[in-house]
Amino acid sequence: MRIVGYTEELVREQSRRILIVDDEEGAREALEVILEEHYDVEAAEDGIVALARLRQKPFDVVLLDVNMPKVNGLEVLRQIKDHDDSIEVIMVSAADRAREATLSLKTGAYDYITKPYEPEVILEAVEKGIRRRSQQSEIRPPASCEMGLDIGHMRIISAAGNMGAVFQIIEKVAGASSNVLITGESGTGKELIARALHARNPRNLKPFVTINCAAIPPELIESELFGHEKGAFTGAYVRNIGKFEYANGGSIFLDEVSSLRLEFQAKLLRVLQEREFCRVGSHQTVKVDVRVIAATSTPLELLVKEKRFRNDLYFRLNVIPIQLPPLRQRKGDVPLLANYFLAKFNHALKKRIRGISPDAMEVLESYPWPGNIRELENLIERLVVLGSPGQWIHENDLPFDLLIQEEAGDSPGPKGKAVDSGLIQARQEFERQYILRALQRCRWNQTDTARLLKIHRNTLFQKMKILELRSQTDE
């Protein structure tokens, strides 16, 4: 049988095993005719026979009828997922029922098709299942593609070429004491890079002192960095040793150095030039030998042009520049980091989340990550905490914000591909009608509707707002 309009090269190169489960003989034969030319197909007349077959041999995709005697299709689906969660299941039904579809997808099916079905629809759904099944073992890039730097119990990892250049700079300046300026968006790992620089330097036996300049009130920054004498100002009851003195012989990391006021920048410049300072309230000079590693998420060149940052201080700090790319520009790093954090939090929280499914990973890779690595790490920690041992993280486990971001706008996305507005509109209209039917069935009771759809009530409220759904009583 030849299916016009379908790309046969995709299915011809596959030789995968498909199981059809339907109590109607005619339905089983129809599906066999569609699939047998491209796949190794077997059929079962009920759920009991199907489960027995699955225990005897592996199958990649199961087409499963919802309404069957002996064992209901949803129960068979649950047992399939308990047996092998990586088997992809397509639910088949004689009617388009919202509750059935919702329960199927929540239980682990990845698609829901209604009869009568078009051959092209069946083939495309099965082919997608085949790809999803094969991707389960291909989520993490090969170890040979991974680069990394160890920092004590931590590790910086990447598969991106632009991060390889960063690692090379770190290794080249390992023995130097030159000042370093690390630039990059918030959450890109600037402090980790600073720690790697210190760890590979002969100073690593001396302190590594960090200070977030933006977190210190301007009137206290001088005391924080240089210390103060007893009685230097109101509240100075004892002498205080500053961060530079603590870091003597080692390294000091000045995060968000762009936040420093101009009047203090002159004092910091003198320390960098003369390697000495005076504590607040003292005229005694304190000599220090400190390597300065500064970081900023705001380009200092821009602040120099705006006369908000001293040009001479900028050049003193920018001896060795390191530019960290944002996560959206680190090709291949989202899957690598996501799986790294998954293993990390599985161990820390004593959980056993099996992995991140291809559909969820596709969303993670398409999201622009404005919070960069920190945002990804926090998300994976949340998913591990909320996840059930032995289960996969699927697309419907992800926060609503990520799913909306994936579908927002006609502009080029993070992968540089334009979003198809026609497809987005079609998906939104389908979701609108789907939720609308559920609302009508529950007489517009949002709590009951959210329970029916198995989503949080706040998520339903957000979707209703975005899709402009409201009852006649609200008008």
Burial 83-97 (b: 16+ CB within 10 A, else e): eebbbbbbbbbeeeb
CB 338 within 8 A of CB 380: yes
CB 256 within 8 A of CB 212: yes
Residue 251: phi and psi, rounded to 5, are: -130, 150
Query: What six digits make up the tokens of 349?
Result: 């929280």
- Determine the Cα angle at 332 with ends 329 and 337, to 5°: 95
User: CATH number of the domain that 409 lies in?
Assistant: 1.10.8.60
**Residues forming beta bridges with residue 90, ordered by sequence position:** 63, 111
Query: What six digits make up the tokens of 115?
Result: 């009869």
Domain that holds residue 252: 161-323
Helix/strand/coil for 91 = strand
The model's confidence at residue 221, banded by pLDDT at 50, 70 and 90, is very high
- pLDDT value of position 271: 94
Do 219 and 298 lie in one domain? The reply is yes
Sole residue written with tokens 């389908």: 430
User: CATH number of the domain that 238 lies in?
Assistant: 3.40.50.300
Strand-pair category, 291-296 with 251-255: parallel
| Residue 315 CB coordination number (10 Å) | 14
Please check the confidence at residue 406 and state whether its pLDDT lies above 50. Answer: no
The model's confidence at residue 5, banded by pLDDT at 50, 70 and 90, is very low
Do 194 and 310 lie in one domain? The reply is yes
Do 188 and 80 lie in one domain? The reply is no
- pLDDT value of position 11: 33
- What is the DSSP-derived secondary structure letter of residue 418? B
Q: How far apart are CA 84 and CA 54, in angstroms?
A: 9
Query: What six digits make up the tokens of 371?
Result: 């919070």
Do 181 and 125 lie in one domain? The reply is no
Q: How far apart are CA 56 and CA 54, in angstroms?
A: 5
Do 285 and 379 lie in one domain? The reply is no
Do 312 and 339 lie in one domain? The reply is no
> Of the given ranges (23-37, 133-147, 161-175, 330-344), which has the lowest mean pLDDT?
133-147
- What is the DSSP-derived secondary structure letter of residue 409? -
Do 215 and 313 lie in one domain? The reply is yes
CB 20 within 8 A of CB 60: no
As for how many domains the chain has, the answer is: 3
Strand-pair category, 61-65 with 17-21: parallel
* Interacting residues of 347 by C-beta distance below 8 A, sequence separation 6+: none
Give mean pLDDT, residues 414-433: 58
Residue 358 in any domain: the answer is: yes
Query: What six digits make up the tokens of 151?
Result: 């920092």
Higher-confidence residue: 436 or 407? 436
Residue 475 in any domain: the answer is: no
Please check the confidence at residue 100 and state whether its pLDDT lies above 80. Answer: no
- pLDDT value of position 2: 29
Do 191 and 85 lie in one domain? The reply is no
Do 176 and 297 lie in one domain? The reply is yes
Residue 250 in any domain: the answer is: yes
**Beta-sheet strands, E only, within 231-377:** 240-241, 251-255, 276-278, 285-287, 291-296, 320-323, 355-356
pLDDT by residue (tens digit) across 106-160? Answer: 777 878 888 777 888 888 889 888 877 766 544 344 444 456 666 655 668 888 8
Residue 415, CA distances (Å) to 52, 84, 365 in order: 44, 32, 8
Do 177 and 317 lie in one domain? The reply is yes
Q: How far apart are CA 75 and CA 81, in angstroms?
A: 10
End-to-end CA distance of the chain: 54
pLDDT, mean over the chain: 82
H helices of 291-420, where? 300-305, 311-317, 333-348, 358-366, 372-386, 400-406
Here the contacts of 443-448 (C-beta below 8 Å, separation 24 or greater) are 444/471, 444/473
Domain closes at, from 323, 339, 369: 323
Do 113 and 44 lie in one domain? The reply is yes
Please check the confidence at residue 426 and state whether its pLDDT lies above 90. Answer: no
Higher-confidence residue: 430 or 349? 349
